[in-house]
């Protein structure tokens, strides 16, 4: 029997119809990690363009940063463990 991921929070993923802008800091992190090209186009390995479009309209109420953040920012966070059935598993470590 495998040990379950040690997590502090299970955060619901919420969706919005309005397009969310990425901060310059987030874009720099994504480019550094090779997840975004120089033109600002996201390239997440194993994520379909349809799913990527959906992810751009999602956000979470981050328990660590104490506010709403774009899901993509959550996805690249060191606390991100997994996304399961509309929830994010978060380690909850201070950033």
SS3 category, 78: coil
> What pLDDT is recorded for position 1?
42
Give residue-wise pLDDT tens across range 56-79: 899 999 999 999 999 989 988 999
SS3 category, 58: strand
Helix and strand tally (H, E) in the chain? 3, 5
pTM for the whole structure: 0.80
Where do the structural domains in the chain lie, given as residue ranges? 9-90
Residue 22: exposure state from Cβ atoms within 10 A (0-12, 13-18, ≥19): middle
């Amino acid at each position: 029997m495998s040990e379950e991921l040690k997590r502090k929070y299970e955060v619901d993923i919420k969706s919005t119809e309005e397009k969310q802008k990425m901060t310059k800091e987030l874009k720099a992190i994504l480019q550094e990690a090779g997840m975004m090209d120089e033109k600002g186009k996201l390239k997440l390995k194993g994520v379909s363009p349809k799913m990527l479009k959906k992810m751009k309209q999602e956000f979470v109420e981050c328990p660590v940063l104490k506010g709403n953040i774009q899901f993509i920012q959550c996805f690249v966070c060191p606390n991100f463990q997994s996304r399961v059935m509309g929830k994010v598993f978060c380690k909850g470590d201070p950033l």
